[in-house]
Amino acid sequence: MTQSKLFFNPLKNLADQFDKLVEGKLWLKVIIALALGVISGVLMGPDLGLLSAGTVKIITAWLALPGQVFLAIIQMIVVPLVVASIVRGLAANNNPAAMKKNGMIALLFIMVSTAFAAAVGIVLALNIQPGNFVDASSLMDANVAPMVNNVAKGFPAAAEFPSKVSALIPKNPLASMASGEMLQVILFAAVLGAALLSIPAQQSKPLFDLLGALQEVSLRIVSWAMLLAPLAVFGLITRLVANLGLNVLTGMAIYMATVLLGLFIIAIAYFIVAKMTLAQRFSEFFVNVRELLLLAFSTSSSAAVMPLTLQVVEDKLKVKPEISRFLVPLGATINMTGTALYQGVATVFLAQVFHVDLSLTSYVFIVTMSVAASIGSPATPGAGIIILSMVLEGVGIPAAGIALILGVDRILDMCRTSVNVLGDVVTCTTVQYFTTKSAPDASSINIDKPN
């Protein structure tokens, strides 16, 4: 068996499993589950009053159990999956100079696109003014408010920057993994991957193979979790609609429409970039990524669809493995353009609701924090709320404002995850476009013998 087969066969087999899920119309099952969840939620909700509040709470708690299990599995597996993928992506590359260039181009593209997305969100919210359509007192949920008490702090003062920078180096990598400090985890994985490159192959191979097994096991667990996706969506959406009611969802309709419009604009921008960096027609690119985006929508997790993302960019978009194997795991964690747009819209929306005047400096802060906070956020469902808390704290918006948008966050999270995954794909095509002449061929990757 050749060295390349030893590396590609396990991931190829796992990608084939995702193919079976796609062929089985998993995304269609999720869409049907979403619709059924809305119907069930309306029937059990306060609008019709068919059931008592206590009965609804018990029923929806059990219906949401598969969803909670699904989210727990994804959160459980995302750290080992990201660590193993990044370390192997770095250690498998025999051209450090090309890898450094790829990383710099990818980081620049991600930062620019994230800042652009946050700015688009701010502009849309300022023009549409969704906060003027909402009465804060009518939407505040006393049961949700306690969830937002422990929000992150805002932008650090100048004197705090040195300690913040040094804190990025994990003193205890295991503790960082356990607490979900993804930026520290990424830095640890990058250092470990670089160290594997610097030692003889005979010494590095056992750890490299161990991480390969960890990666394969993690992806296998993700594929099992995907089977719960339809039940998860049905239960979570049923609980959402049943607890909030149609009146609350209708009151938030303008806000939701603003976010969705912004996500559509970012998606179109990505398609334009893809057209510029790929020798494919607009329609052909859409067909190639359609199933991937639908699956990302279904799972609300960039990490969960990582095997299919790799397959799409390598098999359908012809991105070289030395680029995709490094950038897809990295992008799943730091490339959050859909989330950044959401931060822009949500912050301005809440400022309008609570009548907080934002200055030009505040808008610059929102963009800056959206970029900084998105890098290192976990690639799991609900990460956007964690990032949003950082932004709100810095511009003086009440932390309890998050309770206004927590109710509809599940639906928007599904949509922005699709845009995040699309961004991962386009990042790969963009990096390959700018490094075509200098990037090594796939055959030059020494998988079993990292130097």
pLDDT digits (tens, 9 = 90+) for 173-227: 888 777 767 777 778 888 888 888 788 878 888 888 888 888 788 878 877 887 8
380 vs 276, which has greater pLDDT? 276
Instruction: Say whether pLDDT at 57 is over 80.
Output: yes
CA 225 → CA 60, 331, 438, distances in Å?
A: 21, 21, 39
Q: Is the pLDDT confidence value at 3 over 60? A: no
Tokens of 107: 């980081």
**pLDDT tens column, 293-331:** 988 887 788 877 888 888 899 889 999 888 888 888 888
Given a cut of 90, whether residue 422 has pLDDT beyond it is yes
Contacts of 59 (CB under 8 A, 6+ apart): 44, 51, 242
pLDDT at 165 (0 to 100): 65
User: Residue 21, Cβ neighbours under 10 Å: how many?
Assistant: 20
pLDDT value of position 112: 93
Does residue 270 register a pLDDT over 90?
yes
pLDDT at site 451: 42
Structure confidence at residue 136 as a pLDDT band (50, 70, 90): low
* CB of 296 closer than 8 Å to CB of 451: no
Q: Domains in the chain and their CATH numbers?
A: 25-162+169-436 (1.10.3860)
Name the burial class of residue 141, with classes exposed (0-12), middle (13-18) and buried (19+) by CB atoms within 10 angstroms of its CB.
Answer: middle
Does the predicted TM-score (pTM) go above 0.85? no
